[in-house]
Structure 1
């Protein structure tokens, strides 16, 4: 079997609510979902999800190759782009292609990917996380109530700008999940919105009022010293890694003892997750992939010995994708369909009229101009040229 070509599709996920974090919100609740189809000369097609704008540049590394040689092809793609580097869009493209290769490999074996990767159990423990920053307190309680009904005993709450609001919402979610556990796991994600000058003070302020399981991305993703300072000063674990795009980015954090829960971005692919998991395992650390549409990395999570929990962001799937899995019993129950278990209904995708809004200027992919430069968490954000860094300071 040989790889012969690829096709790109674009569908959307309809969340039914505003989604985002402290950096911005998609008010429409509609986000784009790029789909990559990897074709072979024997009629099998591999499915990869995630942004892949550089596919025209990376695909020649795979053309005419045997798709079963997945890990070798992953390194081949990295080697193919080594002069320009493998960050950002390039790494996302490699991740989507890698996902499609693993899908093909398992389809060739006529088994679900979790079996191909050696997992013994189809169940993947998870925690609920809805990008729920824009919801009101009442909407937040209602939202996590549906997860409690599905057996979840852990959840993530987005915050970082208003500590009192964050504490109130964390405690409200805790109360909702107590139907399944006396001490639910609470994850607190501030999405790099704090500076090193304030991270310890703010983290301790929250911890004084909430029993946190972990605090996520308290400072910039590459800030080893900042993460290490926070990790040494608080009781909860520090979690980070979803935005790192290579093992070389993880080593300094892990070697410094700056992270307690090692995260990976699901959009970076299966091989990336497996390699980061091995690195974390060598440091006696657990690994946790962040959520993504259709939860493709859950197959890999089921196969590694140090998987802790997988982030699950919604109870529905993107338009035109049928996914062989169930969200139940506090996690993901993977099915028996070959590969990733994702069927693509191209006619349904072509017929949908909605357009994704993730990349709008105010969306959560845009870092606010004063992120990390506030002296008080409640100080209002301002546009460039008008920011007043001392506004809101209590004397």
Structure 2
């Protein structure tokens, strides 16, 4: 079997609520979902989701190759772009093609990807995450009540601006999830918005009121010594790593003891996740994939590693025109038996229902505010809205 071509499809997800974090939010809650479909000479196709940028530049590394050699081809893509580097959207495109090849490999074998990767159990533990900084308290309670109805016992709040507001909202999440457990796990995500001493003061104050399971991305992603100092200063675990695009970028954090929960962005693909999970396991650290909402191939990989802790589940639906063979029940994801990673694309429906949507608006939520980490008091900033 040989890879012979590809095609790109753009669909969208309507989240039904504003979504974002401390860096900004999307008021209309609609985002684009790039889909890349790898074609083969035997008619079997592999599906990848995440980024469709730089696909043309990367495809020569795969053209004419057997997709079953997926890890070798992953390294071939990295080698093809080594001069310019493999950060950002380039790494996302590598991850998208990687997911498509793993989908092909499992389809060729006639097995679901979780089985091909050696998982014994198709269930993966998850936690609820509403991308919820723009939700008022009532909508926040509604979201986590819905997730509690699916059995979730842990939840993550987007915050970092106002300690009193975050405490109030963490308790709302705790109350919603308390139907399933006497002591829900609570996490707080600051999305790289603090400096070290801000983080120490903020988290220490939160911990005097609630039992915080982890603090996520408190500092800039490369600040290995800062993360280590914070971890030593607070009781909560420090969780970070989702924006590190390459195994080598984890080395300083791990060597400094700056990460307690190793996180991996699902958009970076299966091979990256598996490699980081192995390195984390060598340090006796748990692994936690971030953003399973569309990149379901990584859910299958999570089922196959011994140190998986919990995966971020942001929504119960699917992007328009995509169906996913899974169930979200009992506080996690039950993966299906469809060969591959279980994502199917209705291209005809997508072509007939085009919606313009993007995360990459000038206002955010992926634009770091100019005064991030430089505010002396809460409340002197504002939300950047994108509609």
TM-score, shorter chain, exceeding 0.5: yes
Deviations 1:223-248 (A, max 9, x none): 01110111000001000000001111
Is it true that 1:246 corresponds to 2:242 in the alignment?
A: no
How far apart in 2 are the matches of 1:38 and 1:382? 40
Q: May I ask how many residue pairs the two structures share in their alignment?
A: 383
Q: Which residue of 2 aligns with 1:257?
A: 257
How far apart in 2 are the matches of 1:275 and 1:321? 28
CA contact (8 A) 2:215 2:238 kept: yes
CA contact (8 A) 2:156 2:189 kept: yes
How far apart in 1 are the matches of 2:22 and 2:260? 23
Which aligned segments of 4 or more residues in structure 1 are displaced greater than 4 angstroms?
A: none
How far apart in 1 are the matches of 2:206 and 2:377? 14
Q: TM-score, normalised by structure 1?
A: 0.95
Q: Which residue of 1 aligns with 2:55?
A: 55
SS state at 1:374 partner: coil
Q: Which residue of 2 aligns with 1:189?
A: 189
| Deviation of 1:296 (Å) | 2.6
> 1:84-99, aligned counterparts within 5 Å?
84-99=84-99
SS state at 2:152 partner: coil
SS state at 2:252 partner: helix
Q: TM-score, normalised by structure 2?
A: 0.97
How far apart in 2 are the matches of 1:251 and 1:238? 16
How far apart in 2 are the matches of 1:211 and 1:15? 30
| More deviation, 346-355/187-196 | 346-355
CA separation of 1:378 and 1:204: change in aligned 2, threshold 3 A: farther
How far apart in 2 are the matches of 1:182 and 1:196? 33
SS state at 1:100 partner: helix
| Deviation of 1:377 (Å) | 3.3
| Deviation of 1:293 (Å) | 3.0
How far apart in 2 are the matches of 1:84 and 1:124? 36
How far apart in 1 are the matches of 2:43 and 2:383? 54
CA separation of 1:357 and 1:81: change in aligned 2, threshold 3 A: closer
Is it true that 1:27 corresponds to 2:27 in the alignment?
A: yes
Alignment gaps of 5+ in structure 2? none
SS state at 1:213 partner: strand
| Deviation of 1:382 (Å) | 10
How far apart in 1 are the matches of 2:138 and 2:110? 46
How far apart in 2 are the matches of 1:45 and 1:312? 27
| More deviation, 59-68/349-358 | 349-358
Deviations 1:83-123 (A, max 9, x none): 11111111011000000000000000011000000000110
Q: Which residue of 1 aligns with 2:326?
A: 325
RMSD: 1.1
SS state at 2:4 partner: strand
Q: Which residue of 1 aligns with 2:6?
A: 6
Q: Which residue of 2 aligns with 1:125?
A: 125
| Deviation of 1:255 (Å) | 1.3
